[in-house]
Amino acid sequence: MAPRKFFVGGNWKMNGDKKSLGELIHTLNGAKLSADTEVVCGAPSIYLDFARQKLDAKIGVAAQNCYKVPKGAFTGEISPAMIKDIGAAWVILGHSERRHVFGESDELIGQKVAHALAEGLGVIACIGEKLDEREAGITEKVVFEQTKAIADNVKDWGKVVLAYEPVWAIGTGKTATPQQAQEVHEKLRGWLKSHVSDAVAQSTRIIYGDAARSCPARITGGTRGR
């Protein structure tokens, strides 16, 4: 089996304007990037077209969210069809801020994953536990339930990257140790092997993400993981 290609994602969140993002894009375009690493930037929806036009073609662009249907009376939402129309190929779904700030359920996230994949987008699917859940010893229970809601809606795992993002390490200044992250990655691969297939468990890229509060262009991960 071919080795998993490294994946590095930068989630810009609700940060930047044309000037500052243009400067960031100029820096990224001038960077020496390995052909063995896939790099994707998650731009705010209003700047998706700008990012895709300005970023070098070797750097992917992701929307930070999308809805579960192609079109309709859903004020403020964007669809996978719209994301594809401006040339972006990825979407971030299930981010902890969507779950815990905006109240998105596992069921809704699963529906979004299904529709995004059906429309041909790659999905960066986020999972992770809160601090009280880790301290209660239920990290595995939480991330397995979140993963199941995603897995139940995936037919082509080649278009999915799993992003393990412990909520307690996002915007708090805390970070999980490499050992903590790898332990969860290993458990996730075990879950995929038992509930999907050994091939999917071996081939799916699982990345780790966290961020300090001061980092506007957040790196969501870059590892083959375990």
More confident of the two residues 174 and 109 = 109
- Whether 225 shows a pLDDT value over 70: the answer reads no
Q: Where are the domains of the chain?
A: 6-222
pLDDT in tens, 210-221: 654 333 333 344
Q: Which residue has the tokens 């815990």?
A: 100
Q: Is 128 left (phi over 0), alpha (psi -120 to 50) or beta?
A: left
Q: Which residue has the higher pLDDT, 117 or 175?
A: 117
What is the pLDDT confidence band of residue 1, given thresholds at 50, 70 and 90? low
Residue-level pLDDT at 210:
65
Cα 115 from Cα 127, distance rounded (Å): 18
For the whole model, what pTM was predicted? 0.92
pLDDT, position 176: 83
For 8-38, give the DSSP string. Answer: EEEE--S---HHHHHHHHHHHHHS---TTEE
* Average of per-residue pLDDT across 113-128: 98
Q: Is the pLDDT of residue 188 over 80?
A: yes
pLDDT of res. 150: 98
The domain defined by 6-222 folds into TIM Barrel (3.20.20)
Q: Does residue 224 have a pLDDT over 70?
A: no
Please give the positions annotated as active site. 95, 165
**pLDDT at residue 99 above 70?**
yes
Segment 94-112 mean pLDDT: 97
CB-CB contact of 188 with 166 (8 Å): no
